[in-house]
Amino acid sequence: GVLYTAEPSVDFGDGLYIPDDQSQCFYSQLTFTSFYPGAVVNDANNDIINTFINFEHSFMGDLTISFICPNGQSILVHQQGGGGTYLGIPIDEDAGENPGIGWDYYWEPGATNGTWEANAGGTLPAGSYESVQPFTNLNGCPLNGTWEIEVCDLWSVDNGFIFDWSIEFAPELYPEAVTFTPTFGPECDSTWWDGPSIIDDGGDCNIVTISPQFIGEESYTYMGQNDFGCYYDRTIDVTVVGTIPTVTANQTQYCGSPVIMTANVGDVDPDDCDFTWTPTDYLNDTDVQSPTIDGLETTTEYTVSVSYSTNGLTCVSEAAIDIETCEITIPNVFTPDNLNVGGNNTWRVDGLEGFDGVQCYIYNRWGTVVFEHIDFGHSAGWDPGVDGAPEGVYYYVLEIPCNEGDQIVTEQGDEITEFDCDGMVPFTGTIHLFR
Class of domain 2-173 as given by CATH = mainly beta
What residue segments make up the domains of the chain, in order of their start?
Answer: 2-173, 191-240, 246-325, 327-433
- Taking alpha carbons only, the member of 265, 295, 264 closest to residue 280 is 295
Buried-state track 238-271, b at ≥16 Cβ within 10 A, e below 16:
eebebbbbebebebebbbbbbbebbbbbeebebe
CA 70/CA 31 separation, integer angstroms: 9
246-325 under CATH 2.60.40.10, yes or no? yes
Could you write out the DSSP letters of every residue in 349-396? -BT-TT-SS-EEEEE-TTS-EEEEESSGGGS--B-HHHHTPPSEEEEE
CA distances from 117 to 53, 59, 114, 226 (A): 16, 12, 8, 56
- Distance from first CA to last CA of the chain, Å, rounded? 75
- Sequential pLDDT tens for the chain (435 residues): 334 444 554 554 555 767 666 667 889 888 898 888 999 999 999 999 999 999 999 899 989 999 999 999 999 999 999 999 999 999 876 566 778 899 999 999 999 999 999 999 999 999 999 999 999 999 999 999 999 999 998 877 777 888 999 999 998 998 876 667 788 888 898 999 999 999 999 899 999 999 887 778 999 999 999 888 889 999 999 988 777 788 888 878 787 678 999 999 887 889 989 999 999 999 999 999 999 998 887 889 999 999 988 777 788 888 999 988 877 888 888 888 655 554 578 899 888 877 889 999 999 999 999 999 999 988 999 999 888 889 999 999 999 887 655 556 666 666 766 666 667 888 899 999 987
Query: What are residue 295's phi and psi, to 5 degrees?
Result: 85, 15
**By three-state DSSP, how is residue 27 classified?**
strand
pTM tops 0.75, yes or no: no
Burial (CB count within 10 angstroms: exposed 0-12, middle 13-18, buried 19+), residue 18:
buried
